[in-house]
Amino acid sequence: MSRFDVVVIGGGHAGAEAARVCARGGARVALVTMMREAIGRMSCNPAIGGLAKGNLVKEIDALGGLMGEATDRAGIQFKVLNRSKGPAVQGPRAQCDRDLYSAAVRAILDAEPNITVVEGAVTAVSPGFVVALGDGSTLHAKAVVITTGTFLRALMHSGETRTQGGRFGEPSAEGLSDSLRAFGLELGRLKTGTPPRVAKDSVDFSRLEEAPGDPVPRPFSILTDALPQPQVLCHLTYTSDAAHNLIRSNLHRAPMYSGQIRATGPRYCPSIEDKVVRFADKERHQVFVEPEGLEHPWLYMNGISTSLPADVQDRVVRSLPGFEQATIARYGYAVEYDYVNPQQLDPGLQVRGVAGLFLAGQINGTSGYEEAAAQGLLAGINALQFVREENPLVLRRDQAYTGVMIDDLITLGTEEPYRMFTSRAEHRLLLGCDSVYERLTPIAERLRILDRERLRRVEARISRIARAREVTATPLTPDKTTLEWLREAGLSLSEKSSVERLMQRHDFDLDAFLMRAGTALPKVVSALRELTEEERESVVSAARYSGYIERQRREADKVSADEELRIPATMTYGLPGLSREMTEKLSSIRPASLGQASRIPGVTPAAIAILRMHLRRSVDVR
Same domain, 218 and 267: yes
The CATH number for 531's domain is 1.10.10.1800
Same domain, 301 and 357: no
Residues 6+ positions from 352 with CB-CB distance below 8 Å: 344, 345, 346, 569, 590
Using 50, 70 and 90 to split pLDDT, how confident is the model at 619?
A: low
The answer, yes or no, to whether residue 389 has pLDDT greater than 70, is yes
Same domain, 206 and 221: yes
The residue among 301, 334, 367 that closes a domain is 334
Same domain, 483 and 582: no
pLDDT on residue 475: 82
Same domain, 526 and 600: no
Same domain, 204 and 55: no
pLDDT 10s digits, 245-269: 999 999 999 888 888 888 888 887 8
Biggest CA-to-CA distance, the chain = 85
Q: How many residues does the chain have?
A: 622
Any domain includes 78: no
Mean pLDDT of 105-120: 97
Sequential DSSP letters for 42-102: -SS-SEEE-TTHHHHHHHHHHTT-SHHHHHHHHEEEEEEETTTS-GGG-EEEEEE-HHHHH
The answer, yes or no, to whether residue 476 has pLDDT greater than 80, is no
Mean pLDDT of 347-370: 96
Same domain, 417 and 313: no
Any domain includes 456: no
The answer, yes or no, to whether residue 606 has pLDDT greater than 80, is yes
In angstroms, the CA 484 to CA 345 distance is 62
| Alpha helix stretches (DSSP H) within 84-240 | 98-110, 176-182
The answer, yes or no, to whether residue 292 has pLDDT greater than 80, is yes
Using 50, 70 and 90 to split pLDDT, how confident is the model at 116?
A: very high
The answer, yes or no, to whether residue 296 has pLDDT greater than 70, is yes
pLDDT 10s digits, 395-442: 999 999 999 999 999 999 999 999 999 999 999 999 999 899 999 999
In angstroms, the CA 602 to CA 260 distance is 34
pLDDT 10s digits, 144-158: 999 999 889 999 998
Same domain, 326 and 210: yes
The residue among 334, 350, 385 that closes a domain is 334
Which of 449, 495, 498 is CA-nearest to residue 473? Answer: 498
pLDDT on residue 622: 43
The CATH number for 41's domain is 3.50.50.60
pLDDT 10s digits, 333-342: 999 999 999 9
Average model confidence (pLDDT) across the chain: 92
Any domain includes 450: no
Sequential DSSP letters for 577-610: T--HHHHHHHHHH--SBHHHHHTSTT--HHHHHH
Same domain, 132 and 260: no
Any domain includes 306: yes
Any domain includes 92: no
Percent of the chain scoring above 70 in pLDDT: 99
The CATH number for 617's domain is 1.10.150.570
The answer, yes or no, to whether residue 621 has pLDDT greater than 70, is no
Percent of the chain scoring above 90 in pLDDT: 70
pLDDT 10s digits, 188-226: 999 999 999 999 999 999 999 999 999 999 999 999 999
pLDDT on residue 401: 97
pLDDT on residue 86: 76
Same domain, 427 and 340: yes
Any domain includes 330: yes
In angstroms, the CA 100 to CA 41 distance is 10
- How many structural domains is the chain composed of? 4
pLDDT on residue 1: 60
Using 50, 70 and 90 to split pLDDT, how confident is the model at 100?
A: very high
The residue among 334, 362, 380 that closes a domain is 334
The CATH number for 322's domain is 2.40.30.260
Output the CA–CA distances (angstroms, integers) from residue 555 to 153, 341, 565, in the order listed: 44, 31, 17
Same domain, 526 and 377: no
Provide the residue range defining the domain that includes 585: 566-621
Mean pLDDT of 319-335: 96
Output the CA–CA distances (angstroms, integers) from residue 140 to 114, 241, 327, 330, in the order listed: 16, 58, 48, 40
CB atoms within 10 A of CB 413: 21
Any domain includes 80: no
Using 50, 70 and 90 to split pLDDT, how confident is the model at 57?
A: very high
Any domain includes 89: no
Same domain, 315 and 202: yes
pLDDT on residue 84: 81
Mean pLDDT of 484-488: 74
